[in-house]
Structure 1
Amino acid sequence: MANLYNKQAELYVETRPSYPPELFEFIASKTPNHDLAWDVGTGSGQAALSIAKIYKNVIATDASAEQLAHAPKLPNIRYHHTLSTMTIDELAHDIAPKGTVDVVTVAMAVHWFDLPAFYQQVNWVLRKPHGVIAVWCYTMPQVNDSVDTVFWHMYSNSVSFWAPTHARKMVEDEYKSLDFPFGPVKGLDHTGPMKFEAKKLMGLDVYLTYIRSWSAYQLALEKGVELLSEEVIEDFRRAWGEDGSSPKLVRFPVHLRIGKVVN
């Protein structure tokens, strides 16, 4: 999976939305201790940067060295390049000792994981009984009716290039179908999904660059398909107005699952 994002690592950093502060404040409110967080599939460190403002130390891991190369450097974030799978011994040596992590976070990545293996690791590293796992995804951008109509027509042509299909479906259904064998955290009677919203001010060029950062866009190109043809770009330009020069507020719905170890 990591290789899907290596080619467009720089585009990813430039165009992906920052997650709202309210998301991290909510997660932190469910962990009594704020000593150590493990941000898994950190990519270019977008979530790790916000987590590091609340938690004393953050270990941020990813299987893509290209993505990690673009991550922001802070003294309380330790980035670590991992394989897509780790043994318990590797987990203890490279991540943290058993039962010492306050929160495990995964931003827009858990749908790629070998979930049984990952959840075993989560259960092993989390503090008992108050350690928390929080995973979230965001769904497709929303601008206005005109732009969104062009977007969804283009997106319908991209469907066959999203791989694996089951991972994409988990995102499309807002993580409702995600296997999540954890109990509700204090103050809640369910594990979600709970809704937040990320926002980013974008001009048309940045908006189109966001689309080019998709793994599906890159796979389509490899197969000789240009999802953003001149005709499609012109449709976007007309829908955007003012020749695409005016920035618009782009909204990304965020869907959070949060829970604690059951036993």
Structure 2
Amino acid sequence: MAIGSYDRQALEYVNGRPQYPPQLFSFIAKHSPHRRLAWDVGTGSGQAALALSEMFERVIATDVSEQQISYAPRRPNITYAVTARAMSLQELESTVGEEGSVDLVTVAQALHWLDLDTFYGHVKHVLRKPGGVFAAWCYREPVVNPSVDCVFEEVFRASVAFWDPPRKMVDEGYATVCFPFRSVVQEGSEEGASTTAPIKFWAKKEMGLEPYLNYMRSWHAYQKAKATGVDLLDEQTVARFKDAWAESENDVKTVSFPVFLRIGVV
């Protein structure tokens, strides 16, 4: 759910963020027995909504940021809606659907921004019973190669003081987030394995140096630091990235983001 400074860096967010892997959506769809209506919460620029529209008859995609939604792809079976940060049940039903009408609720890289007590109440209200599915995922710091990753780690450590407290949930891969649903266990897990362990995927994006730097510029923490006069990507740091990037600034590399999924049923 895009809030605050995400309005100001909406375009950088769209261009710099990874595409979620197809395997993630295939896994979610496999565990969704009904595929009439999906609600994508905090849709941002519509990445998840677009993928879901290939698998569900209808997708309702909501966000608090009109600017973020303006960059989202349009499809006949996707309905975008700008909502307040807190919706009443009446607003929920008029925007998303009546009680028990939604087959799947998804939250991509936004669960940590939500008031979970209120939000989970809304999720349980609209989800189909039985068979309704809830899925939330986040991604963490990218991996390129040892040289680039070394510089990145220094920048990330410097950014820690500027992240809002909810970021801790992302750092933990949503492993400790409140999750009042019956968790889906990944196939192949050993008997007795934790049902709360996030399921890991990898999102990959081909990026040159400038798009990679723009990914960092799209951070909430980067914008917050800059507002206080701290440039996390000053000339010296960018020069170090150029050296680490090696061949040339235009060289395209595979940037891999670890994705952590929590999925459960009501």
- Measured against the shorter chain, the TM-score band is over 0.9
Match of residue 201 from structure 1: 206
What is the distance in 2 between the residues matched to 1:154 and 1:186? 35
What is the distance in 2 between the residues matched to 1:155 and 1:161? 10
Structure 1: where are the runs of 5+ without partners? none
1:31 CA displacement: 1.1
What is the distance in 2 between the residues matched to 1:211 and 1:245? 17
What is the distance in 2 between the residues matched to 1:152 and 1:216? 14
Match of residue 83 from structure 1: 84
* Residue 259 of structure 2 is aligned to residue 242 of structure 1: no
* Residue 232 of structure 2 is aligned to residue 223 of structure 1: no
Q: After superposition, what is the alpha-carbon deviation per residue over 1:199-218, rounded to whole angstroms, capped at 9, x for unaligned? A: 00000010001110111111
Q: Which amino acid aligns with 1:235?
A: R
1:243 CA displacement: 3.0
Q: Mapping of 1:70-109 within 5 angstroms? A: 70-109=71-110
1:4 CA displacement: 2.1
1:191 CA displacement: 4.4
Q: Indicate the SS of the match to 2:13.
A: helix
Aligned residues: 259
- Taking structure 2 as the reference length, the TM-score comes to 0.95
Instruction: Pick closer, same or farther for the CA change 1:186–1:127 going to 2, 3 Å.
Output: farther
Q: Which amino acid aligns with 2:169?
A: M
Q: After superposition, what is the alpha-carbon deviation per residue over 1:66-119, rounded to whole angstroms, capped at 9, x for unaligned? A: 101111010000000001111111111111011010100000000010000000
1:184 CA displacement: 2.5
Q: Mapping of 1:71-150 within 5 angstroms? A: 71-150=72-151
Match of residue 180 from structure 2: 181
1:185 CA displacement: 3.9
Q: Indicate the SS of the match to 2:76.
A: coil
Answer whether contact 2:183 2:262 (CA < 8 A) is retained. no
Match of residue 65 from structure 2: 64
Match of residue 213 from structure 1: 218
Match of residue 232 from structure 1: 237
Answer whether contact 1:24 1:51 (CA < 8 A) is retained. yes
Match of residue 32 from structure 1: 33
Q: Which amino acid aligns with 2:50?
A: L
Q: After superposition, what is the alpha-carbon deviation per residue over 1:175-197, rounded to whole angstroms, capped at 9, x for unaligned? A: 11111111134887724300001
Q: Indicate the SS of the match to 2:59.
A: strand
What is the distance in 2 between the residues matched to 1:36 and 1:247? 38
Answer whether contact 1:191 1:258 (CA < 8 A) is retained. no
Instruction: Pick closer, same or farther for the CA change 1:16–1:187 going to 2, 3 Å.
Output: closer
- Taking structure 1 as the reference length, the TM-score comes to 0.96
What is the distance in 1 between the residues matched to 2:212 and 2:231? 16
What is the distance in 2 between the residues matched to 1:174 and 1:199? 17
Instruction: Pick closer, same or farther for the CA change 1:30–1:235 going to 2, 3 Å.
Output: same
Q: Which amino acid aligns with 2:14?
A: V
What is the distance in 1 between the residues matched to 2:67 and 2:196? 33
Identity within the alignment, %: 51
Match of residue 4 from structure 2: 3
Match of residue 260 from structure 1: 265
Q: Which amino acid aligns with 2:240?
A: D
* Residue 23 of structure 2 is aligned to residue 22 of structure 1: yes
Structure 2: where are the runs of 5+ without partners? 188-193
Match of residue 251 from structure 1: 256
Q: After superposition, what is the alpha-carbon deviation per residue over 1:42-84, rounded to whole angstroms, capped at 9, x for unaligned? A: 0010110101010110000000111011110100000000011
Q: After superposition, what is the alpha-carbon deviation per residue over 1:140-176, rounded to whole angstroms, capped at 9, x for unaligned? A: 010001000000001111111111x1x1111011111
Q: After superposition, what is the alpha-carbon deviation per residue over 1:117-144, rounded to whole angstroms, capped at 9, x for unaligned? A: 0000000000001000000000001000
